[in-house]
Amino acid sequence: MKEGVAISFHVPLVDISAYVRDGSSVERAAVAQQVDAACREVGFIQVVGHGIAASVIQGLTDAMDAFFALDLRAKKAYRTPPAVNRGYTPPKSESLSLSLGVEPANRMNDFFEAFNVGAGADDYPHVADLPQPDYADNVWPDIDGFEAHVSAYFAEAGRVARTMTRIFADALGLEPGFFDRVTDHSLDVMRMNYYALPPGTDVRLDGDLTGMGEHTDYGIVTVLWADQVRGLQVLGSDGSWNDVQPADGALLINLGDVTARWTNERWMSTLHRVKPPVIDGMIERRRSAAFFHDGNVDALITTLPTCVDPRHPDLYEPTTIGEHIAAKLAGSRAGRRNDAAVRESARVLASRSVGGAGEGIRTSSGTVRS
Ligand SMILES: O=C(O)CCC(=O)C(=O)O
Ligand SMILES: [Fe+2]
């Protein structure tokens, strides 16, 4: 961060209703233009006009509350092996920074717990022989209404993700069906995150606690519902970490590495992490649900020709979405450091050398605290 230069950080708010409700081409062009600017400058957007009913979001949060309130032993019955990205993840069993090849800053695993659901082979009956465990079946906890509520929100988050890719196609000047071809059997996973510590835990003894380590999301686009408790921090282009809290009724949208690769970093997969504030030796409980729209396992990502020119040489070798995601998951879920994420890890290490452990965090309104 440059000393004494206050560059304010702001996550743009965009109303996408022109795409949700088939607005005029002029209205849609205005939305696509705002999304392009947000994707170039920040990589995070807040969207309103997404059309998800408040009751569907309430159903999701009720289901999450009911599950995470179970005791640890009951929750652990829903664990799956690391290669199967479904079911329960206990606290301190994953380290997100390993997904991009960097050891966690505090040498400890992240304290979030999570429950994952995703699209299985049965959701894509038009495609034969989808590989396992990429398209694994879900495990569902034995809680009244959990599956129905979570599935209802999952379907809606998927609709919003697909709406975003229609906007992306327009914003990038691609043919309208560009993303349909690479997402007709998309690897879609939703991680419901819960950040809390058992009552009585002395958080001071745990040092520099990390809710979720710094990472970029892996796929095309993430639709993130988060409650308004502070904790999510996003890395600004000046190397500062900034608190981000969604506006009332807004969903956060952020770009993943697949989009950074396609666009040759015209659009970035922005680094983010979760550090819940410690107040009077306690952590305020925080919840989020990240819907990852990652694309077809067999889709080849090659840099878009419109994003390469003499001033912007091609930064990436082609790879499939399946290979890319597998290397990331082996890092976060199985602790196998991903050494292929050279460009993302360089950004993390640069941010650490700028800030160090006790760096000032800027709030979304631009004030600095430490
Ligand atoms: O909890 C949050 O707000 C962020 C979660 C996140 O980044 C993720 O699940 O990938
Ligand atoms: Fe994330």
Residue 319 predicted with pLDDT over 80: yes
Looking from the CA of residue 193, the nearest atom of ligand 1 is: 1
**Residue 274 CA, ligand 2 centroid: distance in Å:** 9
**Residue 287 CA, ligand 1 centroid: distance in Å:** 9
Query: Residue 265: phi, psi to the nearest 5?
Result: 65, 15
In this predicted model, which residue has the larger pLDDT, 47 or 352? 47
What is the model's pLDDT at position 292? 98
Q: Which of 65-74, 94-103, 347-356 has the lowest mean pLDDT?
A: 347-356
Residue 361 predicted with pLDDT over 80: no
What is the model's pLDDT at position 6? 42
Task: Please provide the DSSP assignment of 172-216 as one string.
Answer: TT--TTHHHHHHTTEEEEEEEEEE---TT--GGGG-S--SEEEE-
What is the model's pLDDT at position 19? 98
The strand order across the sheet containing 361-362 reads: 212-215, 272-274, 232-235, 241-243, 361-362, 368-369
**pLDDT band (50, 70, 90) for residue 344:** confident
- pLDDT (tens digit per residue) in 195-215: 987 766 666 655 567 889 999
What is the model's pLDDT at position 358? 40
Residue 368 predicted with pLDDT over 60: no
Ligand at minimal distance from the CA of 289 is 1
What is the model's pLDDT at position 64? 98
**Residue 364 CA, ligand 2 centroid: distance in Å:** 18
**pLDDT band (50, 70, 90) for residue 237:** confident
**Residue 15 CA, ligand 2 centroid: distance in Å:** 22
- pLDDT (tens digit per residue) in 213-235: 999 999 999 999 999 999 999 99
- Distances from the Cα of 256 to the Cα of 73, 215, 262, 265, angstroms: 34, 10, 10, 11
What is the model's pLDDT at position 7? 58
What is the model's pLDDT at position 3? 38
Ligand at minimal distance from the CA of 256 is 2
Task: Report the percentage of the chain scoring pLDDT > 90.
Answer: 70
**Residue 273 CA, ligand 1 centroid: distance in Å:** 7
What is the model's pLDDT at position 324? 92
**Average pLDDT of the chain, as a whole number:** 88
- The residue nearest atom 6 of ligand 1, judged by CA position, is 290
Interval 110-135 mean pLDDT: 95
- The residue nearest atom 8 of ligand 1, judged by CA position, is 290
Interval 164-192 mean pLDDT: 96
Domain ranges of the chain: 13-362
What is the model's pLDDT at position 4? 40
In this predicted model, which residue has the larger pLDDT, 150 or 91? 150
Q: Which of 156-165, 194-203, 288-297, 309-318 has the lowest mean pLDDT?
A: 194-203
- Residue ranges lining ligand 1, Cβ < 6 Å: 191, 193, 212, 217, 224, 226, 232, 272, 274, 288, 290
Interval 343-353 mean pLDDT: 74
What is the model's pLDDT at position 88? 97
What is the model's pLDDT at position 106? 63
What is the model's pLDDT at position 1? 40
Residue 353 predicted with pLDDT over 60: yes
CA–CA separation, 177 and 182 (whole Å): 9
Angle, alpha carbons 195-331-273 (nearest 5°)? 35
CA–CA separation, 36 and 218 (whole Å): 20
Q: Which long-range contacts (CB under 8 A, 24 or more apart) does 76-80 make?
A: 78/115, 78/139, 78/141, 80/136, 80/139
Q: What token pair was written down for 22?
A: 């088939």
CATH architecture of 13-362: Sandwich (2.60)
Residue 370 predicted with pLDDT over 50: no
Residue 107 predicted with pLDDT over 90: no
In this predicted model, which residue has the larger pLDDT, 298 or 360? 298
**Residue 274 CA, ligand 1 centroid: distance in Å:** 7
DSSP 296: E
The verdict on ipTM greater than 0.95 is yes
Nearest alpha-carbon partner for 234 in 67, 52, 364, 89: 364
Ligand at minimal distance from the CA of 232 is 1
What is the model's pLDDT at position 218? 94
CA–CA separation, 164 and 328 (whole Å): 23
Best residue among 111, 252, 272, 333 to mutate for probing ligand 1's pocket (most ligand atoms within 8 Å of CB) is: 272
- pLDDT (tens digit per residue) in 261-271: 999 999 999 99
